[in-house]
């Protein structure tokens, strides 16, 4: 199954930024907080949780930068790819103290 592409805008519940969705956007590019809307695959929007997702760390998988999230409500943990317009400075700060795993 491919991720479904749904264009949607939302307001960040953390910093209040109006986020313009590109179809896969599930987190705020400014503070990187997200919302638990997907259950199994990015874009499925099947989760009934809707809890706030806290960015708790960074990861790098096969050269792709990832944000590690933990849902404040249900504790679910998952990683999403860092988007092009995400704030890399904020992302970098998440990585302080967490060493990047390097699989190469």
Contacts with Zn ion, residue ranges (CB under 5 A): 12, 14-15, 17, 28, 30-31, 36, 49, 51, 71, 73-74, 76
- Please report how close the Cβ of residue 18 comes to Zn ion at its closest, in angstroms: 10
Helix (H) or strand (E) holding 60: strand 52-61
List all residues 6 or more positions away from 69 whose beta carbon is below 8 Å from its beta carbon.
27, 34, 53, 54, 55, 56, 77, 78, 79, 80
Q: Which is nearer to Zn ion, 7 or 77 (CB)?
A: 77
Least spacing, CB of residue 86 vs Zn ion, in Å: 11
CB of 27 to Zn ion, least distance (A): 8
Of 82, 76, 103, 85, the C-alpha closest to 94 is 82
Nearer to Zn ion (CB atom), residue 19 or residue 66 = 19
């Amino acid at each position: 199954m491919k991720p479904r592409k749904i264009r949607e805008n939302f307001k960040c519940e953390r910093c209040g930024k109006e986020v313009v969705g590109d179809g896969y956007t599930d987190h705020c590019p400014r503070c990187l907080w997200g919302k638990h809307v997907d259950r199994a695959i990015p874009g499925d929007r099947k989760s009934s949780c809707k809890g706030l997702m806290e960015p708790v760390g960074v990861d790098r998988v096969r050269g792709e930068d990832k944000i590690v999230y933990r849902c404040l409500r249900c504790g679910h943990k998952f990683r999403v790819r860092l988007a092009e317009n995400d704030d890399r400075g904020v992302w970098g700060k998440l990585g302080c103290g967490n060493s990047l795993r390097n699989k190469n």
